[in-house]
C-alpha cells in the first residue's frame, strides 16, 4: 500500500455508482432486517474487497486515505456495509505489513481470489480482562479449536474468520474457513443500530486447525492495528454525518408546509432552517477533517513500518494512536449532535417512520458505544499532562 495525502478521484468515481445503487434500498433493508448478502457480493464482484491489495494481486494499491474515504462514502449510503468490512481490511493491512514469506504470499493469493475475512475476537464469557475462554488444543487427531465468540462483525458474510484464542497460556490467532466442520455462525445481533453487520455469535466446536493457519502474537513487531480498526468505525460515523446533511437538504427542498410564526414563507427561504442545515454541514466538515488528519498519520505510520526504522516506527505509531483518539473526540460528538439537530429542520413529519431519519442517531450511537470516548478523553489528558503513551490495544472481560 503506497501512501499519498490525496484521494484518487478516479477510484472514488469508479465506485460511486455502485455505492449509490446499494444505498437506494438501505432503509428498506433495515426495516425488513434483510441481511446484505447480495450487496456484499456486488462489492466483491466490483473489486472493492481487493482495493488495498497491490495491483499484481488484482487490487488498486489504494492508500489509507483512499480506503477510508471510500469507507466513509459507502457508509454515507449504508454504514452497515462499511462496518462489516472492518476486519477484512484490517487483515489485509496486517498482512501487507508482515515480512515476505510463503505464508504471506498464500494469504495474499487467497485475498486476490476475492476471499472476505471476518472477526471472532470478543467473548461474552466469564474470562477475566486480558484472557480468553476460546482454546486451541493439541489432540491425537491434531489441533482443535473450541469456544464461543460474540460481536463477530462481518463473519456471516465471510469466507475466512480470524479467531483469537489461547494455546497453552499463549495468545494466538487462528484463520478458519467459515464453512469448516464445527463452525456455527448465528444471526443473533439485537443492537438497535447497525442491525445488519452480522455482529452476533460464532461457535467453534472441535474445529480442525492446520498449524500453518496459526499465528502467534509478536509484541515486538510494530503495528498500528489498533488505530486502523478504530478508524474504520470513525469512517463509518463520518459517512453517517454526510448522510445527515444529505437528508436535511432533501427534506427542506421538498417541504411545502411551514409555520405561521416562521421567519419566511417557505422552509427553503427560512433563515432559521438554513442556519440549522449550515450547522449540520459544519459538523460533517469537522468529522471529515478529523478523519483525514488521522488517516494521514496512519499513512506515515505505514511508511515507517515498511521502512523498518525502529526509532521512527515507534514515533509514528504513537502519533497515529494519538491522532485517532483525538479524531474520536471530534467525530463522535459532532455526528451525534447532528443526528439530533437534524430534526430541527422540520416538524412532526420528520419523525414519520418511512423517512427513518432516526437511523442516523441509532447507527452512530451504536458505533460510538464500541469504544467509549470517555476513556479516550482521559487517555489524551494523561498523555498531555504526564506524557503517558496512548494504549495501542485494549481488551474487555470480567473484572
Query: What does the pLDDT read at residue 385?
Result: 98
DSSP 3-state assignment of 128?
Answer: strand
> Residue 142: inside a domain, yes or no?
yes
Residue 7 scores a pLDDT above 60: no
pLDDT, one tens digit per residue, over 33-80 is 999 999 999 999 999 999 999 999 999 999 999 999 999 999 999 999
Residues of 250-272 as b/e, b for ≥16 C-beta within 10 angstroms? ebbeebeebeeeeeeeebeebee
What confidence category does residue 260 fall into, taking pLDDT thresholds of 50, 70 and 90? confident
List, in sequence order, every residue forming a beta bridge with 186; answer none if it has no partner: 201
Residue 339 has pLDDT above 90, yes or no: yes
| CA dist., res. 162 & res. 10, Å (int) | 32
Q: Is residue 158 part of a domain?
A: yes
Task: Determine the average pLDDT of the residues in 249-256.
Answer: 91
Do 56 and 183 have their domain in common?
A: no
Is the pLDDT reported for residue 166 higher than 60? yes
Q: Where would I find the H helices in the chain?
A: 9-24, 26-32, 37-45, 64-77, 79-84, 86-96, 102-112, 225-254, 271-307, 310-341, 358-368, 373-386
Rounded to an integer, the average pLDDT of 21-31 is 98
Q: Do 258 and 359 share a domain, yes or no?
A: yes
Asked, for residue 125, whether it belongs to a domain, the answer is yes
pLDDT for 1: 53
CATH number of the domain that residue 209 is part of: 2.40.110.10
Question: In terms of domains, do 283 and 377 share one?
Answer: yes
Q: Which of 296, 289, 290, 292 is nearest to 316 (CA)?
A: 296
Residue 391 lies in a domain: no
Q: What confidence category does residue 397 fall into, taking pLDDT thresholds of 50, 70 and 90?
A: low
Here the CATH number for the domain that contains residue 306 is: 1.20.140.10
How far is Cα 233 from Cα 239, in angstroms, rounded to an integer?
Answer: 10
Residues 152 and 104 both lie in one domain: no
Q: Is the pLDDT of residue 2 over 50?
A: no
Tell me the DSSP string of 27-50: HHHHHHT---HHHHHHHHHTTGGG
- pLDDT, tens digit, for every residue of 115-141? 999 999 999 877 778 789 999 999 999
User: Residue 234: how many CB atoms within 10 A of its CB?
Assistant: 28
Domain count, the chain: 3
Range of weakest confidence among 26-35, 278-287, 340-349, 390-399:
390-399
Which of these, 346, 324, 378, 158, lies nearest to 250 by C-alpha position? 346
What average pLDDT does this structure show over 212-220? 85
Whether 326 is in a domain gets the answer: yes
The last residue of one of the domains, among 216, 245, 279, is 216
* Stretch 251-269: mean pLDDT: 84
* Boundaries of domain holding 77: 9-115
What pLDDT score does 5 carry?
41
Task: Based on the fold, state whether residues 249 and 285 are members of the same structural domain.
Answer: yes
Residue 175 reports pLDDT greater than 80: yes
What is the pLDDT confidence band of residue 226, given thresholds at 50, 70 and 90? very high
Q: Which DSSP category does 129 fall into?
A: T
User: Does the structure show a pLDDT above 80 at 85?
Assistant: yes
Is-contact 81 39, C-beta < 8 A? yes
Give the per-residue pLDDT at 392: 79
Is 165 strand, coil or helix? strand
Q: What is the mean pLDDT of residues 15-38?
A: 98
Q: How far apart are the first and last CA of the chain?
A: 39
Which tops the pLDDT comparison, 371 or 74?
Answer: 74
Mean per-residue pLDDT, 140-160: 97
63 and 138 belong to one structural domain: no
Q: Which of 94, 115, 136 is the last residue of a domain?
A: 115
Helix (H) / strand (E) element for 133: namely: none
Nearest-angstrom CA–CA distance, 177 and 315: 37
CATH code, domain carrying 57 = 1.10.540.10
CB 244 within 8 A of CB 280: yes
In a domain, residue 109? The reply is: yes
**236 and 380: one domain?**
yes
Residues 127, 75 share a domain:
no
Last residue of a domain, one of 99, 115, 131: 115
User: Is residue 110 domain-shared with residue 233, that is, in the same domain?
Assistant: no
Which DSSP category does 104 fall into?
H
- Looking at the structure, do residues 131 and 86 belong to the same domain, yes or no? no
In-domain check, residue 394: no
Average pLDDT, the chain: 94
148 phi, psi to nearest 5 deg:
-130, 130
Shared domain check, 208 and 284: no
Cell of 178: 467459515
Q: How far apart are CA 21 and CA 392, in angstroms?
A: 37
Residues 355 and 31: their CA atoms lie apart, in Å, by: 11
| pLDDT grade for 4, boundaries at 50, 70 and 90 | very low
Asked if residue 275 is part of any domain, the answer here is: yes
Of 16-20, 184-188, 261-265, 349-353, which range is least confident? 261-265
Based on the domain organization, do 265 and 283 belong to the same domain? yes
Q: How many CB atoms lie within 10 A of CB 361?
A: 21
Amino acid at each position: 500500500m503506497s501512501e499519498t495525502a490525496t484521494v484518487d478521484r478516479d477510484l472514488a468515481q469508479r465506485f460511486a455508482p455502485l455505492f449509490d445503487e446499494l444505498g437506494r434500498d438501505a432503509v428498506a433493508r433495515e426495516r425488513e432486517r434483510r441481511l446484505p448478502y447480495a450487496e456484499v457480493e456486488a462489492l466483491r464482484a466490483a473489486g472493492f474487497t481487493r482495493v488495498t491489495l497491490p495491483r499484481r494481486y488484482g487490487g488498486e494499491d489504494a492508500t489509507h486515505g483512499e480506503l477510508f474515504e471510500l469507507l466513509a462514502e459507502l457508509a454515507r449510503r449504508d454504514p452497515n456495509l462499511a462496518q462489516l468490512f472492518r476486519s477484512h481490511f484490517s487483515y489485509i493491512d496486517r498482512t501487507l505489513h508482515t515480512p515476505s514469506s510463503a505464508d504471506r504470499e498464500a494469504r495474499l493469493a487467497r485475498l486476490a481470489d476475492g476471499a472476505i475475512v471476518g472477526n471472532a475476537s470478543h467473548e461474552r464469557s466469564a474470562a477475566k480482562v486480558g484472557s480468553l475462554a476460546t482454546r486451541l488444543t493439541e489432540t491425537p487427531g491434531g489441533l482443535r479449536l473450541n469456544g464461543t465468540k460474540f460481536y463477530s462483525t462481518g463473519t456471516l458474510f465471510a469466507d475466512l474468520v480470524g479467531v483469537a484464542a489461547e494455546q497453552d497460556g499463549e495468545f494466538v490467532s487462528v484463520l478458519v474457513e467459515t464453512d469448516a466442520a464445527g463452525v456455527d455462525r448465528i444471526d443473533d445481533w439485537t443492537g438497535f443500530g447497525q442491525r445488519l453487520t452480522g455482529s452476533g455469535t460464532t461457535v467453534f466446536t472441535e474445529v480442525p486447525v492446520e498449524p500453518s493457519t496459526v499465528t502467534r502474537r509478536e509484541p515486538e513487531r510494530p503495528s498500528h492495528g489498533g488505530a486502523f480498526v478504530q478508524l474504520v468505525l470513525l469512517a463509518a460515523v463520518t459517512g453517517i454525518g454526510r448522510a445527515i446533511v444529505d437528508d436535511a437538504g432533501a427534506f427542506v427542498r421538498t417541504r411545502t408546509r411551514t409555520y405561521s410564526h416562521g421567519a419566511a414563507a417557505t422552509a427553503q427561504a427560512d433563515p432559521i432552517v438554513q442556519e440549522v442545515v449550515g450547522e449540520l454541514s459544519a459538523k460533517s466538515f469537522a468529522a471529515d477533517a478529523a478523519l483525514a488528519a488521522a488517516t494521514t498519520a496512519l499513512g506515515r505510520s505505514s511508511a515507517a513500518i515498511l521502512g523498518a526504522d525502529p526509532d521512527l516506527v515507534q514515533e509514528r505509531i504513537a502519533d497515529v494512536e494519538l491522532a485517532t483518539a483525538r479524531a474520536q473526540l471530534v467525530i463522535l460528538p459532532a455526528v451525534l449532535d447532528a443526528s439530533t439537530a437534524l430534526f430541527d429542520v422540520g416538524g412532526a413529519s420528520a419523525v414519520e417512520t418511512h423517512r427513518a431519519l432516526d437511523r442516523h442517531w441509532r447507527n452512530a450511537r451504536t458505533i460510538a458505544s464500541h469504544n467509549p470516548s470517555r476513556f479516550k478523553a482521559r487517555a489524551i489528558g494523561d498523555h498531555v499532562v504526564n506524557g503517558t503513551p496512548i494504549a495501542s490495544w485494549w481488551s474487555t472481560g470480567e473484572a
